[in-house]
Structure formats: C-alpha cells, structure tokens
Homo-oligomer: A and B are copies of this chain.
Amino acid sequence: MKPADTTDHIDSTDMATPTYTPQLQAFQQVVESRRSVRRFTDTPIPDAVLADCLRLAMLAPNSSNLQPWEFYVIDSAAKRELAVKNCMGQNAAKTAARLIAVVARTDNWHEHAQQVLREYPIQPVPKKVKSYYTQAVTMDFIRGPVNALSVAKWSAAQVFRRVKGPIKSPYYTFDDVKNWATNNTALGAENLMLALRAHGFDSCPMGGFDEPAMKDLLNLSDGHHIVMMIGAGERADNGIYHSQFRFDQQQLVHYV
C-alpha cells in the first residue's frame, strides 16, 4: 500500500526551502557573525574602509529620502578621551579603533526636502513630487514653536479621519519628530555595523553614555539627538562576553 501523501493538502509554496545562493550564505554569515564586541585589538580601521561602511550606512532606506542621519567620527585625541569618559570608560569605547556618534536630526527636514528637489534624478522635477516635498512633507512635520499647533493638528486629523477614512498619522510633537528621526537613523546604524563586519571589523552599539555631556563635547544643538555611540575595531580574542541567545521566534512573531 502506498503511504499517505501528507503533503497533498499543504500549499507546496509553504514547504519550499530557501535557495542557498553564495550571496545569501555570505549575507547570513555577516549577520550571524556580528556580535557586540567589547574589546578591540590595536589594529586601526583604514579611512577607506570606514568611508565605504558609511557609504553603505547611507544606502539604508529612509522616509521620503530626507536622510535625517549624521555620523560624527571622533578622531582627535582630546575629544576622544572625553568621549570615552562620557561612555563611562567602558571597554567597547576605550579600546575602539574608531568611536562614532550616530546622530538623528529633528531640525533639517525642511532643508533636506528642498535639497531632495534640487538633487532629484528627474529634472525638471515632476509636479506631483514637487508638491509632495513642499506641501505634504510640511503638513506632516509642522508643529509650531513649543508644539503650538499640535492640538489643532490632532483635532484636524480626527475630523479628516472621520470624513475620509484612514489617514497617514502626522507628527504632532517634538517627541514624534524625534522618534521619526531615530527610527530612520537606526536603519543606517544597522547597515554601518553590518558593513564593518563584512569588512572584517566589528562594532559595539552603546546606549550607555551621558547624552547631554556628549552633545556638549560635540557642540550639538537641540536639533541633534545621539541615537547611539558605536565603538568599532578588530575583534580581540576576549572581545565577546558570552554566547549569543535570542527569545524563541514563536514568542515575537505573530501570524494574524
């Protein structure tokens, strides 16, 4: 008797296994071998390598191509010493070949919208694109000094939603804009860390630093927000503190 074909009722697509191309395997190796490295060797990161990593960082997707990210590479000895102190002297900062402040900007969306129009690959810029960057983007971000327009904007959004159905949630407050900029900048930061790995180097993203002190040191204004500090360099033998673990996928992924 033929054994029951248990796959009969299952969509064959769902049973497909991934195709392990060399590209996929290389990518998986980069992601799987990236660890938060807390001690680096004395080997420097060449400028050209760092520049390529930053280029790849800036290829991350970002909202409307407004690119609210900035990267401060702290190379001067004097600033470096203080920056390490502002990271409370942790090894990942102290031993890093390069120390980078990854910064999100909340104050240049308008300026960058104008720049996108100037550098847009299709010239003259199509009407729809032009009105998007002059009108829609402004409506999305504008909130007035000290969020003065927030309440009016929120009320208008509720009326719009009732009349028109779903609407894109605009940014009502400074914290909303900061959240938007952080979100975008983190995408770039992840590319940066993976790129360092692909180049044979490593990184440690740090949330443990004194943000006001670090902003003072780097001369940053209220429109700059340090999303994370990244220590980068060559992995030392004792650079990883324990084996990697993550919660079960079933706990954090929901099929609905």
Residues of A within 8 A of B (CB): 13-19, 21-24, 26-32, 34, 36, 44, 46-49, 51-52, 54-56, 58-61, 63, 65, 67, 69-76, 79, 85-88, 112, 115, 119-122, 161, 165-169, 173, 175, 178-180, 182-184, 186-187, 189-191, 193-195, 198-200, 205, 207-213, 218, 227-228, 242-247, 249, 252-256
Residue of chain B at shortest CB distance from A72 = B254
Contact B54 A18 (CB under 8 A): no
User: Which of B47, B173, B209, B218 is A14 in contact with, Cβ under 8 Å?
Assistant: B47
Q: Are B213 and A166 in contact (CB under 8 A)?
A: yes
Complex Cα–Cα for A54 and B63 (A): 22
Q: A30 touching B31 by the CB < 8 A rule? A: no
* A140 shortest CB reach to chain B, Å: 9
Separation in Å of the A30 CB from the closest CB of chain B? 5
Q: How many copies does the complex hold?
A: 2
Which residues of chain B are near A61, meaning CB under 8 Å?
A: 34, 36, 190, 193, 205
A16 to B173, CA, bound (A): 46
A229 to chain B minimum Cβ distance, whole angstroms, is 11
Per CB-CB distance, the 4 closest pairs between chain A and chain B, nearest first, are A26-B26, A186-B186, A27-B198, A166-B210
In the complex, are the beta carbons of A182 and B190 less than 8 A apart?
A: no
**A178 vs B175: C-alpha distance in the bound complex, in angstroms?**
9
In-complex Cβ contact of A247 among B44, B47, B115 (8 A): B115
Contact A167 B24, CB 8 Å, known A121-B245, A190-B60 = no
A59 lies within 8 A of B31 (CB): yes
Looking at the assembled complex, report how far the CB atom of A100 sits from the nearest CB atom of chain B, in whole angstroms: 9
